[in-house]
Amino acid sequence: MAAEIVNPRSDSSTDNSAEGAPEEPFDPAFALHRGGKMAIQATVPVRDRDDLSLAYTPGVAKVCSAIAEQPELVNDYTWKSNVVAVVTDGTAVLGLGDIGPEASLPVMEGKAILFKQFGGVDAVPIALATTDTDEIIETVVRLAPSFGGVNLEDISAPRCFEIERRLQEELDIPVFHDDQHGTAVVTLAALRNAARLTGRTLGDLRAVISGAGAAGVAIAKFLLAAGLGDVAVADRKGIVSRDREDLTDVKRELAEITNRAGLTGSLESALAGADVFIGVSGGTVPEPAVASMAPRSFVFAMANPNPEVHPDVAHKYAAVVATGRSDYPNQINNVLAFPGIFAGALQVRASRITEGMKIAAANALADVVGDALAADYVIPSPFDERVAPAVTAAVAAAARAEGVARR
């Protein structure tokens, strides 16, 4: 675990309020965020002339010249090999939606400190003043020489799919949209353990996902790749199926690989006899629909702050209940995945994050639970110090096995 993060600007005597801004009542969230949640800190001393001459001119010229001759040395002699760009356009921020780049910065700072705290990875928040797909891609490509990886964050669907795909095609460093893949990794880990708890395998299960945005699409594809029996995905108009004529390109592709049972109609009708409900959309699922699910079902209601199915209702019918909230057991929290995934990828200088690396991360995360497996413990706590090292090691090994590691 990395050292505790402390805000060096936390001196209460410093007032960073905008002139003329209204006084706010005391709120611990505002108090913590005042001045920002992170800062740049040197890793080498600059105490005297000798230190200065090594850290900057003239000593730095030797290192620059060496990198100019052998560009790969940038990973050894700069911070590039352990720093990630956290990039957003502010269009899909947490449960807040399209609030713009400035308002997204507290979230991006938060993501950056989680990278450091839970994975030992440095991260830089970058909020872009554009929502144009081509402009976002061009900007990130131009920034890429400074970073060892790119974490796309809170970019709305369907643009997020194209942005990630095209960036990974253009760059030889990992590009990872956490809203998609981080959620999918943690969901798979929890689902593996829930199946193990009830004596089943992934192939025995039929799932229904509420939400066909970034997370819903990624979870569906990932669970199928991991061996799930079947999954149907529902959007606001019902089950995504081949007979619908209103589908986007992303949903049309999804319809081709999901819903092997050929279900049509509403989310509620699809839940009849289903083994798994996965909620990444918000809204409320009626209790009779939950009651219609198969015996020993699993309810993963991950909307925040209000789960699609309240845990008190879910526990009446389900063998395992998970949410996105920290005040209930089995929290499906992306922080269990992305710090270790990037730490492992950066450790071996991977050129990308593959499906195999993500599955390895999910398996490692599930294995942390071990023999302590129980209905209220199918996924570990983010504060379990075994998590990041286990995920990091598994991802690094998978990268080597798949030939995307460069050391």
The catalytic residues are: 56, 111
CA nearest neighbour of 280 among 323, 317, 313: 323
CA nearest neighbour of 396 among 335, 355, 346: 346
How far apart, in whole angstroms, are the C-alpha atoms of residue 87 and residue 120? 19
Q: Specify which residues 238 forms β-bridges with.
A: 235
Q: Where are the beta strands (DSSP E) in 58-180?
A: 83-88, 122-127, 149-152, 175-177
Q: How many angstroms separate the Cα of 166 from the Cα of each of 133, 134, 176, 295?
A: 10, 10, 12, 43
Q: Where are the beta strands (DSSP E) in 12-74?
A: none
Q: Specify which residues 124 forms β-bridges with.
A: 85
Query: How would DSSP label each residue in 338-383?
Result: HHHHHHHHHHTT-SS--HHHHHHHHHHHHHHHGGG-BTTBSS--TT
The burial of 95, by beta-carbon neighbours within 10 Å (0-12 exposed, 13-18 middle, 19 or more buried), is given as exposed
The burial of 376, by beta-carbon neighbours within 10 Å (0-12 exposed, 13-18 middle, 19 or more buried), is given as exposed
39: which residues sit within 8 A by CB, 6+ positions away?
A: 7, 8, 9
**Long-range contact set of residues 283-291: C-beta below 8 Å, sequence gap at least 24:** 283/210, 283/308, 284/308, 284/309, 285/210, 285/309, 287/313, 287/316, 290/314, 290/316, 290/317, 290/318, 291/316, 291/317
